[in-house]
């Protein structure tokens, strides 16, 4: 029961931080400092990634009509537009997919620690504030429809996603920040980032799951229960967070998240320095 309650906590953190530009992986690493799940090291590595499946399902549910090219209510032109969006999303994940496959083990071994997380939180927090200040008054020049993003812009956003492989950077944060720098509006950039998450996180979960199976370590009943509970909670929380974030970005900038990242990064640095 205690382990399942811990799973609920991890699911809440994942559901909140996966979509906000504050780094879900970084927060899960930090949470592990204070709340330790009673599971094998191999299962823990897999759990931190596969728990994202619940968050992915939330995106599919909320944007199902927009992402469904077979919707009978769509015209032939709208279906073609939906297919085009999917092709752009698939093109955008190629850069991070290649880098992730090649360097996943190395990054797990060398970058998954509190120091890297805290530095990434601070650096990208400053970046968000600077970019938002730079973009003040330039809203008329922005791409405000996700369908208007072309293949070149999609690939460049995908290149920014490579930065999120460093814990503490944030997948949504790096892609949204990249989109804003490329002239995409906050709302359209956030939507495209969410859509990129579907194949990205499915692929990452598949890789982690395969590595766990090949490791020869068997999952206990408790571990499987923890994984299922974590996914369910992250799904429910993600539904609420995504809706709230889309409403927020229509009226506000991401500067507040930048301030949060800087403050949290400084606190984390201080914690590990004292430790």
47-72 per-position pLDDT tens digit: 878 888 888 999 999 999 999 999 99
pLDDT of residue 267 exceeding 90, the answer is no
Who has greater pLDDT, 214 or 8?
Answer: 8
CA dihedral of residues 173, 159, 119, 21 (deg, nearest 10): 0
Q: Are 58 and 239 in contact (CB under 8 A)?
A: yes
Mean pLDDT of the residues in the chain: 87
DSSP bridge partners of 265: none
pLDDT of residue 160 exceeding 90, the answer is yes
Residues 75 and 111: their CA atoms lie apart, in Å, by: 47
Q: What is the mean pLDDT of residues 7-20?
A: 90
Residue found by looking up tokens 């982690």 in the block:
208
Nearest to 97 by CA among 185, 5, 184, 161: 161
Q: At what angle do helices 186-214 and 221-249 cross, to 10 degrees?
A: 170
Task: State what percent of residues in the chain have pLDDT above 70.
Answer: 98
List pLDDT tens digits, range 110-140. 777 778 888 989 999 999 899 888 877 665 5
pLDDT of residue 153 exceeding 60, the answer is yes
Q: Are 131 and 125 in contact (CB under 8 A)?
A: no
Rg for the chain, CA atoms, rounded = 18
How many Cα atoms sit within 13 Å of 230 on the Cβ side?
Answer: 24
Residues 170 and 220: their CA atoms lie apart, in Å, by: 30
Nearest to 193 by CA among 53, 13, 19: 19
CA–CA distance from 163 to each of 124, 128, 171, 177 (Å)? 10, 14, 8, 11
Q: How confident is the model at residue 84 (pLDDT cuts 50, 70, 90)?
A: very high
Residues 213 and 42: their CA atoms lie apart, in Å, by: 10
Q: How confident is the model at residue 9 (pLDDT cuts 50, 70, 90)?
A: very high
CA angle 261, 94, 116 (to 5 degrees): 30
Residues 18 and 12: their CA atoms lie apart, in Å, by: 10
168 contacts: CB under 8 Å, gap ≥ 6: 23, 25, 26, 29, 116, 117, 118, 119, 120, 121, 124, 265
CB burial of residue 46 (10 Å; 0-12, 13-18, 19+):
buried
Query: Which residue range(s) make up the domain with 268?
Result: 2-274
Measured in whole angstroms, the distance separating CA 273 from the mean position of its chain's CA atoms is: 28
| Total domains in the fold of the chain | 1
Q: Please list, residue by residue across 76-99, b when 16 or more beta carbons sit within 10 angstroms of its beta carbon and e when fewer do.
A: eeeeeebeebeebbeebbebbbeb
């Amino acid at each position: 029961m205690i382990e399942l309650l811990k799973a609920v906590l991890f699911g809440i953190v994942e559901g909140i931080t996966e979509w906000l530009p504050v780094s879900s992986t970084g927060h899960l690493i930090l949470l592990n400092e204070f709340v330790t799940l009673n599971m094998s090291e191999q299962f823990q590595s897999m759990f931190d990634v596969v728990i994202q499946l619940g968050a992915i399902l939330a995106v599919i549910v909320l944007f199902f009509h927009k992402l469904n090219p077979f919707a009978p209510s769509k015209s032939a032109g709208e279906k073609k537009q939906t297919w085009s969006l999917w092709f752009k999303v698939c093109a955008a994940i190629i850069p991070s997919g290649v880098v992730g496959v090649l360097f996943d083990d190395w990054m797990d071994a060398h970058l998954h620690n509190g120091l890297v997380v805290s530095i990434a939180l601070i650096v990208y927090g400053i970046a968000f504030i600077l970019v938002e200040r730079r973009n003040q008054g330039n809203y008329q020049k922005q791409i405000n429809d996700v369908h208007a993003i072309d293949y070149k812009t999609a690939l460049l956003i995908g290149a920014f996603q490579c930065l999120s492989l460093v814990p503490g950077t944030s997948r949504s944060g790096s892609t949204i920040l990249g989109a804003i720098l490329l002239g995409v509006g906050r709302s359209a950039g956030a939507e495209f980032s969410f859509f990129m998450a579907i194949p990205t996180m499915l692929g990452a979960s598949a890789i982690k799951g395969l590595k766990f199976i090949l490791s020869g370590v068997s999952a206990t009943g408790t571990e499987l229960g923890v994984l299922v509970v974590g996914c369910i909670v992250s799904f429910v929380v993600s539904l609420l967070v995504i809706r709230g974030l889309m409403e927020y970005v229509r009226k506000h900038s991401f500067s507040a998240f930048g301030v949060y990242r800087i403050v949290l990064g400084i606190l984390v640095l201080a914690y590990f320095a004292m430790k």
